[in-house]
Amino acid sequence: METADIKSMTLEEVSGMLEELGEKPYRARQLYQWMHQKLARGFGEMKNLPLDLREKLGNRFSYTDLKLVRMQESAFDGTRKYLFELSDGNLVESVWMKYRHGNSVCVSSQVGCRMGCAFCASTIDGLERSLLPSEMLDQIYAITRDTGERVSNVVVMGIGEPLDNYENLLLFIRLLTDENGLHISQRNVTVSTCGLVPEMKRLADEKLQITLALSLHAAFDEKRKKLMPVANRYAIEELMEACAYYFEKTGRRITFEYALVGGVNDAKEDAEALGGLCRKLNCHVNLIPVNPIKERGFVQSERDAILAFKNKLEKYGRNVTIRREMGRDIDGACGQLRRRQKALG
Ligand code: SAH
Protein backbone atom coordinates (compact mmCIF):
# COMPACT_ATOMS: atom_id res chain seq x y z
CA MET A 1 0.00 0.00 0.00
CA GLU A 2 1.26 3.46 -0.85
CA THR A 3 1.56 5.69 2.19
CA ALA A 4 0.43 9.33 2.16
CA ASP A 5 3.09 11.97 1.66
CA ILE A 6 3.04 13.98 4.87
CA LYS A 7 5.19 16.90 3.69
CA SER A 8 2.69 17.66 0.92
CA MET A 9 -0.12 18.21 3.45
CA THR A 10 -1.38 21.66 4.45
CA LEU A 11 -1.45 22.64 8.13
CA GLU A 12 -5.23 22.10 8.14
CA GLU A 13 -4.79 18.59 6.78
CA VAL A 14 -2.08 17.83 9.30
CA SER A 15 -4.38 19.11 12.08
CA GLY A 16 -7.28 16.97 10.88
CA MET A 17 -5.08 13.90 10.64
CA LEU A 18 -3.65 14.33 14.16
CA GLU A 19 -7.10 14.90 15.57
CA GLU A 20 -8.17 11.58 14.07
CA LEU A 21 -5.20 9.97 15.79
CA GLY A 22 -6.47 11.45 19.06
CA GLU A 23 -3.59 13.90 19.48
CA LYS A 24 -3.71 17.33 21.13
CA PRO A 25 -4.25 20.24 18.69
CA TYR A 26 -0.86 21.88 19.41
CA ARG A 27 0.93 18.83 18.03
CA ALA A 28 -0.08 19.82 14.48
CA ARG A 29 1.84 23.07 14.63
CA GLN A 30 4.85 21.32 16.15
CA LEU A 31 4.90 18.68 13.44
CA TYR A 32 4.36 21.21 10.67
CA GLN A 33 7.15 23.38 12.07
CA TRP A 34 9.56 20.45 12.12
CA MET A 35 8.82 19.75 8.49
CA HIS A 36 8.64 23.26 7.04
CA GLN A 37 10.65 25.52 9.34
CA LYS A 38 13.21 23.40 11.11
CA LEU A 39 13.56 21.38 7.90
CA ALA A 40 13.82 18.00 9.61
CA ARG A 41 14.96 15.09 7.47
CA GLY A 42 12.76 12.55 9.20
CA PHE A 43 10.46 11.89 12.16
CA GLY A 44 13.48 10.79 14.20
CA GLU A 45 14.66 14.39 14.55
CA MET A 46 11.37 15.63 16.01
CA LYS A 47 12.51 15.49 19.61
CA ASN A 48 9.57 17.26 21.23
CA LEU A 49 7.08 14.76 19.77
CA PRO A 50 6.49 11.64 21.87
CA LEU A 51 8.27 8.55 20.58
CA ASP A 52 5.05 6.59 20.08
CA LEU A 53 3.60 9.38 17.95
CA ARG A 54 6.74 9.49 15.82
CA GLU A 55 6.48 5.74 15.34
CA LYS A 56 2.81 5.96 14.45
CA LEU A 57 3.55 8.66 11.88
CA GLY A 58 6.42 6.65 10.46
CA ASN A 59 4.11 3.70 9.89
CA ARG A 60 1.38 5.72 8.27
CA PHE A 61 3.19 8.30 6.21
CA SER A 62 6.07 8.59 3.84
CA TYR A 63 8.60 11.32 4.50
CA THR A 64 10.42 12.45 1.37
CA ASP A 65 14.09 13.33 1.59
CA LEU A 66 16.74 14.04 -1.02
CA LYS A 67 20.14 12.51 -1.22
CA LEU A 68 22.88 14.82 -2.39
CA VAL A 69 24.67 13.16 -5.29
CA ARG A 70 26.98 16.03 -6.12
CA MET A 71 27.39 19.76 -5.78
CA GLN A 72 29.44 21.97 -8.00
CA GLU A 73 30.31 25.54 -7.12
CA SER A 74 31.20 28.10 -9.74
CA ALA A 75 34.63 29.63 -9.30
CA PHE A 76 33.31 32.82 -10.97
CA ASP A 77 30.20 33.75 -9.06
CA GLY A 78 29.59 31.25 -6.26
CA THR A 79 26.58 29.73 -8.03
CA ARG A 80 26.01 26.21 -6.81
CA LYS A 81 24.46 23.45 -8.81
CA TYR A 82 23.05 20.50 -6.93
CA LEU A 83 22.24 17.06 -8.24
CA PHE A 84 19.80 15.24 -5.96
CA GLU A 85 18.50 11.70 -5.89
CA LEU A 86 14.82 11.17 -5.11
CA SER A 87 13.60 8.23 -3.04
CA ASP A 88 12.91 6.19 -6.20
CA GLY A 89 16.42 6.75 -7.55
CA ASN A 90 15.50 9.42 -10.09
CA LEU A 91 17.72 12.48 -10.36
CA VAL A 92 16.84 16.18 -10.34
CA GLU A 93 18.88 19.36 -10.44
CA SER A 94 18.56 22.61 -8.54
CA VAL A 95 20.63 25.78 -8.65
CA TRP A 96 21.48 28.24 -5.90
CA MET A 97 22.36 31.77 -6.94
CA LYS A 98 23.57 34.61 -4.78
CA TYR A 99 22.36 38.03 -5.82
CA ARG A 100 22.65 41.41 -4.16
CA HIS A 101 18.93 41.30 -3.37
CA GLY A 102 19.08 37.84 -1.80
CA ASN A 103 19.52 34.17 -2.46
CA SER A 104 17.60 32.52 -5.23
CA VAL A 105 16.91 28.85 -5.85
CA CYS A 106 15.91 27.41 -9.21
CA VAL A 107 13.89 24.23 -8.71
CA SER A 108 12.90 21.36 -10.97
CA SER A 109 9.23 20.46 -11.26
CA GLN A 110 9.48 17.12 -13.11
CA VAL A 111 11.95 14.33 -13.80
CA GLY A 112 12.57 15.00 -17.48
CA CYS A 113 10.08 16.84 -19.65
CA ARG A 114 7.74 16.04 -22.51
CA MET A 115 7.64 19.47 -24.15
CA GLY A 116 10.46 18.70 -26.57
CA CYS A 117 12.07 22.15 -26.97
CA ALA A 118 14.92 21.79 -29.46
CA PHE A 119 17.52 23.70 -27.44
CA CYS A 120 16.80 22.13 -24.05
CA ALA A 121 18.75 19.24 -22.55
CA SER A 122 16.00 18.34 -20.04
CA THR A 123 13.66 16.99 -22.65
CA ILE A 124 15.97 14.71 -24.60
CA ASP A 125 14.84 11.49 -22.88
CA GLY A 126 11.25 12.64 -22.38
CA LEU A 127 9.24 12.73 -19.17
CA GLU A 128 9.86 10.19 -16.44
CA ARG A 129 7.41 11.53 -13.86
CA SER A 130 6.17 14.68 -12.16
CA LEU A 131 7.47 15.78 -8.77
CA LEU A 132 5.37 15.87 -5.62
CA PRO A 133 4.93 19.20 -3.83
CA SER A 134 7.21 17.86 -1.08
CA GLU A 135 9.92 16.97 -3.59
CA MET A 136 9.92 20.52 -4.93
CA LEU A 137 10.10 21.89 -1.37
CA ASP A 138 12.87 19.43 -0.50
CA GLN A 139 15.18 21.02 -3.07
CA ILE A 140 14.89 24.36 -1.27
CA TYR A 141 15.08 22.77 2.16
CA ALA A 142 18.20 20.75 1.32
CA ILE A 143 19.93 23.82 -0.10
CA THR A 144 18.96 25.94 2.92
CA ARG A 145 20.44 23.31 5.21
CA ASP A 146 23.58 23.07 3.09
CA THR A 147 24.27 26.80 2.76
CA GLY A 148 22.92 27.82 6.16
CA GLU A 149 21.43 30.88 4.45
CA ARG A 150 17.85 31.91 3.94
CA VAL A 151 16.39 31.58 0.46
CA SER A 152 14.36 34.64 -0.52
CA ASN A 153 13.53 33.95 -4.17
CA VAL A 154 12.34 30.82 -5.89
CA VAL A 155 12.15 30.32 -9.63
CA VAL A 156 10.51 27.23 -11.08
CA MET A 157 12.81 27.09 -14.08
CA GLY A 158 14.69 23.85 -13.59
CA ILE A 159 13.92 20.55 -15.25
CA GLY A 160 10.31 20.09 -16.32
CA GLU A 161 7.27 22.07 -17.38
CA PRO A 162 5.62 23.32 -14.17
CA LEU A 163 2.19 23.84 -15.73
CA ASP A 164 2.27 20.21 -16.88
CA ASN A 165 2.26 19.38 -13.14
CA TYR A 166 -0.38 21.93 -12.23
CA GLU A 167 -1.97 20.62 -9.02
CA ASN A 168 1.33 19.75 -7.39
CA LEU A 169 2.82 23.10 -8.41
CA LEU A 170 -0.04 24.99 -6.79
CA LEU A 171 0.22 23.06 -3.57
CA PHE A 172 3.99 23.59 -3.58
CA ILE A 173 3.52 27.36 -3.90
CA ARG A 174 0.94 27.34 -1.14
CA LEU A 175 3.24 25.48 1.25
CA LEU A 176 6.30 27.51 0.29
CA THR A 177 4.59 30.83 0.91
CA ASP A 178 2.68 29.71 4.01
CA GLU A 179 3.44 31.82 7.09
CA ASN A 180 3.90 28.62 9.08
CA GLY A 181 6.56 27.40 6.66
CA LEU A 182 9.47 29.25 5.04
CA HIS A 183 7.03 32.08 4.33
CA ILE A 184 8.61 33.15 1.08
CA SER A 185 6.70 36.05 -0.42
CA GLN A 186 4.54 35.16 -3.43
CA ARG A 187 6.08 38.16 -5.16
CA ASN A 188 9.43 36.43 -4.96
CA VAL A 189 8.21 33.29 -6.73
CA THR A 190 8.45 32.97 -10.51
CA VAL A 191 6.93 30.18 -12.58
CA SER A 192 8.28 29.74 -16.07
CA THR A 193 6.21 28.05 -18.77
CA CYS A 194 6.73 27.13 -22.39
CA GLY A 195 3.18 28.39 -22.91
CA LEU A 196 0.35 26.03 -21.99
CA VAL A 197 -2.52 28.41 -22.60
CA PRO A 198 -5.37 26.76 -20.61
CA GLU A 199 -3.15 26.38 -17.54
CA MET A 200 -1.88 29.96 -17.84
CA LYS A 201 -5.48 31.14 -17.66
CA ARG A 202 -6.26 28.82 -14.81
CA LEU A 203 -3.25 30.18 -12.95
CA ALA A 204 -4.49 33.73 -13.58
CA ASP A 205 -7.80 32.80 -11.94
CA GLU A 206 -5.97 31.69 -8.78
CA LYS A 207 -5.04 35.36 -8.37
CA LEU A 208 -1.67 34.67 -6.82
CA GLN A 209 0.96 37.39 -6.65
CA ILE A 210 3.61 35.26 -8.33
CA THR A 211 5.41 36.24 -11.54
CA LEU A 212 4.59 34.34 -14.69
CA ALA A 213 7.47 34.01 -17.14
CA LEU A 214 6.74 32.91 -20.67
CA SER A 215 9.44 31.20 -22.69
CA LEU A 216 8.78 32.85 -26.00
CA HIS A 217 12.08 32.45 -27.88
CA ALA A 218 10.55 33.51 -31.21
CA ALA A 219 8.06 36.17 -32.23
CA PHE A 220 6.94 34.36 -35.38
CA ASP A 221 4.78 31.23 -35.19
CA GLU A 222 6.69 29.35 -37.88
CA LYS A 223 10.04 29.99 -36.25
CA ARG A 224 8.68 29.15 -32.82
CA LYS A 225 7.36 25.81 -34.10
CA LYS A 226 10.88 24.87 -35.16
CA LEU A 227 12.22 25.56 -31.68
CA MET A 228 9.26 24.50 -29.55
CA PRO A 229 6.77 21.78 -30.50
CA VAL A 230 4.22 23.33 -28.10
CA ALA A 231 3.89 26.15 -30.65
CA ASN A 232 1.94 23.71 -32.83
CA ARG A 233 -0.75 23.67 -30.17
CA TYR A 234 -0.95 27.36 -29.30
CA ALA A 235 -0.33 30.31 -31.60
CA ILE A 236 1.54 33.38 -30.35
CA GLU A 237 -1.69 35.36 -30.54
CA GLU A 238 -3.36 32.99 -28.07
CA LEU A 239 -0.31 33.23 -25.81
CA MET A 240 -0.52 37.02 -25.83
CA GLU A 241 -4.19 36.87 -24.92
CA ALA A 242 -3.41 34.54 -22.04
CA CYS A 243 -0.66 36.92 -20.86
CA ALA A 244 -3.00 39.90 -21.03
CA TYR A 245 -5.56 37.90 -19.05
CA TYR A 246 -2.93 37.05 -16.44
CA PHE A 247 -2.06 40.73 -16.05
CA GLU A 248 -5.72 41.73 -15.89
CA LYS A 249 -6.45 39.23 -13.12
CA THR A 250 -3.30 39.63 -11.03
CA GLY A 251 -1.81 43.01 -11.90
CA ARG A 252 1.53 41.25 -12.25
CA ARG A 253 3.81 42.19 -15.10
CA ILE A 254 4.68 39.28 -17.40
CA THR A 255 8.27 38.30 -18.13
CA PHE A 256 9.16 37.12 -21.62
CA GLU A 257 12.16 34.86 -21.82
CA TYR A 258 13.97 34.89 -25.11
CA ALA A 259 16.99 32.66 -25.63
CA LEU A 260 19.15 34.14 -28.36
CA VAL A 261 20.40 31.47 -30.75
CA GLY A 262 23.02 32.61 -33.25
CA GLY A 263 21.58 32.94 -36.76
CA VAL A 264 18.21 31.52 -35.70
CA ASN A 265 16.21 34.17 -33.84
CA ASP A 266 18.60 37.07 -33.33
CA ALA A 267 18.07 39.18 -36.49
CA LYS A 268 16.70 42.74 -36.72
CA GLU A 269 13.28 41.45 -37.90
CA ASP A 270 13.09 39.18 -34.85
CA ALA A 271 13.72 42.11 -32.52
CA GLU A 272 11.12 44.20 -34.32
CA ALA A 273 8.48 41.47 -34.19
CA LEU A 274 9.18 40.90 -30.50
CA GLY A 275 9.00 44.65 -29.90
CA GLY A 276 5.60 44.68 -31.59
CA LEU A 277 4.33 42.00 -29.20
CA CYS A 278 5.77 43.81 -26.19
CA ARG A 279 4.13 47.09 -27.02
CA LYS A 280 0.70 45.62 -26.39
CA LEU A 281 1.48 44.19 -23.00
CA ASN A 282 2.89 45.20 -19.64
CA CYS A 283 5.98 43.05 -19.82
CA HIS A 284 9.66 42.80 -19.20
CA VAL A 285 12.01 40.94 -21.54
CA ASN A 286 14.82 38.75 -20.34
CA LEU A 287 17.31 37.93 -23.09
CA ILE A 288 19.24 34.74 -22.48
CA PRO A 289 22.37 33.96 -24.47
CA VAL A 290 21.55 30.33 -25.31
CA ASN A 291 23.58 27.78 -23.45
CA PRO A 292 25.19 25.79 -26.23
CA ILE A 293 23.88 22.23 -26.34
CA LYS A 294 26.24 19.93 -28.18
CA GLU A 295 23.54 17.39 -29.01
CA ARG A 296 21.56 20.04 -30.90
CA GLY A 297 24.21 22.16 -32.54
CA PHE A 298 22.92 25.51 -31.26
CA VAL A 299 25.40 28.33 -30.80
CA GLN A 300 25.24 31.60 -28.90
CA SER A 301 24.60 34.87 -30.68
CA GLU A 302 27.61 37.14 -31.06
CA ARG A 303 28.00 39.74 -28.34
CA ASP A 304 27.32 42.54 -30.86
CA ALA A 305 24.17 40.84 -32.11
CA ILE A 306 22.91 40.53 -28.53
CA LEU A 307 23.49 44.22 -27.81
CA ALA A 308 21.94 45.27 -31.13
CA PHE A 309 18.90 43.10 -30.37
CA LYS A 310 18.56 44.72 -26.96
CA ASN A 311 18.89 48.25 -28.33
CA LYS A 312 16.30 47.63 -31.00
CA LEU A 313 13.88 46.14 -28.50
CA GLU A 314 14.25 49.00 -26.04
CA LYS A 315 12.91 51.39 -28.68
CA TYR A 316 9.53 49.78 -28.03
CA GLY A 317 9.54 51.18 -24.52
CA ARG A 318 9.94 48.02 -22.54
CA ASN A 319 12.44 47.07 -19.91
CA VAL A 320 15.00 44.62 -21.35
CA THR A 321 17.66 42.76 -19.41
CA ILE A 322 20.34 40.34 -20.53
CA ARG A 323 20.48 37.43 -18.16
CA ARG A 324 23.80 37.21 -16.43
CA GLU A 325 25.31 33.90 -17.30
CA MET A 326 25.80 32.38 -13.91
CA GLY A 327 27.50 29.09 -13.41
CA ARG A 328 28.62 28.61 -17.02
CA ASP A 329 31.59 26.60 -15.74
CA ILE A 330 29.37 24.17 -13.83
CA ASP A 331 26.82 23.08 -16.44
CA GLY A 332 24.43 25.81 -15.34
CA ALA A 333 21.83 25.13 -18.05
CA CYS A 334 18.76 23.02 -17.47
CA GLY A 335 19.28 19.33 -17.42
CA GLN A 336 22.95 19.31 -18.30
CA LEU A 337 24.23 17.91 -15.02
CA ARG A 338 21.58 15.22 -14.86
CA ARG A 339 22.40 14.15 -18.39
CA ARG A 340 26.07 13.90 -17.65
CA GLN A 341 25.47 11.87 -14.52
CA LYS A 342 23.18 9.52 -16.43
CA ALA A 343 25.83 9.09 -19.11
CA LEU A 344 28.40 8.21 -16.45
CA GLY A 345 26.11 5.99 -14.44
N1 SAH B 1 9.44 24.39 -18.98
C2 SAH B 1 9.55 25.71 -18.47
C3 SAH B 1 10.59 25.91 -17.39
C4 SAH B 1 11.89 25.18 -17.49
S5 SAH B 1 13.04 25.74 -18.68
C6 SAH B 1 9.76 26.68 -19.60
O7 SAH B 1 9.83 26.25 -20.74
O8 SAH B 1 9.77 27.88 -19.36
C9 SAH B 1 13.62 27.28 -18.05
C10 SAH B 1 14.08 28.25 -19.13
O11 SAH B 1 15.35 27.84 -19.67
C12 SAH B 1 13.11 28.33 -20.29
O13 SAH B 1 12.98 29.65 -20.70
C14 SAH B 1 13.84 27.51 -21.33
O15 SAH B 1 13.37 27.79 -22.60
C16 SAH B 1 15.27 27.90 -21.08
N17 SAH B 1 16.28 27.04 -21.67
C18 SAH B 1 16.26 25.70 -21.85
N19 SAH B 1 17.38 25.29 -22.45
C20 SAH B 1 18.14 26.38 -22.65
C21 SAH B 1 19.42 26.61 -23.23
N22 SAH B 1 20.13 25.62 -23.76
N23 SAH B 1 19.86 27.87 -23.24
C24 SAH B 1 19.16 28.90 -22.72
N25 SAH B 1 17.95 28.75 -22.17
C26 SAH B 1 17.45 27.50 -22.14
Query: pLDDT (tens digit, 9 = 90+) per residue, 65-92?
Result: 999 999 999 888 889 999 999 999 999 9
> Can you tell me the distance from the alpha carbon of 267 to that of 44, in angstroms, rounded to the nearest whole number?
58
* Residues tagged active-site: 93, 334
Helices (H) and strands (E) in the chain, counts: 11, 14
Question: What pLDDT is stored for residue 1 in this prediction?
Answer: 52
First CA to last CA across the chain, in angstroms?
A: 30
Nearest CA to ligand 1 atom 24: 290
The verdict on the CB of residue 291 being under 6 Å from ligand 1 is yes
Give this prediction's pTM: 0.95
The verdict on the CB of residue 215 being under 6 Å from ligand 1 is yes
Q: Does the pLDDT at position 332 exceed 60? A: no
Burial label, 277 (beta-carbon count in 10 A; 0-12, 13-18, 19+): buried
The verdict on the CB of residue 136 being under 6 Å from ligand 1 is no
Distance 53 CA to ligand 1 centre (A): 44
Residues above pLDDT 90, as percent of the chain: 87
Question: What pLDDT is stored for residue 292 in this prediction?
Answer: 83
Residue whose C-alpha is closest to residue 228's, from 218, 214, 243: 218
Are the C-beta atoms of residues 287 and 310 closer than 8 Å to each other?
Answer: yes
Question: What pLDDT is stored for residue 331 in this prediction?
Answer: 61
Q: Does the pLDDT at position 64 exceed 60? A: yes
Question: What pLDDT is stored for residue 75 in this prediction?
Answer: 87
Distance 260 CA to ligand 1 centre (A): 11
The verdict on the CB of residue 228 being under 6 Å from ligand 1 is no
The least confident of 108-112, 133-137, 146-150, 298-302 is 298-302
Average pLDDT of the segment spanning 31-37: 98
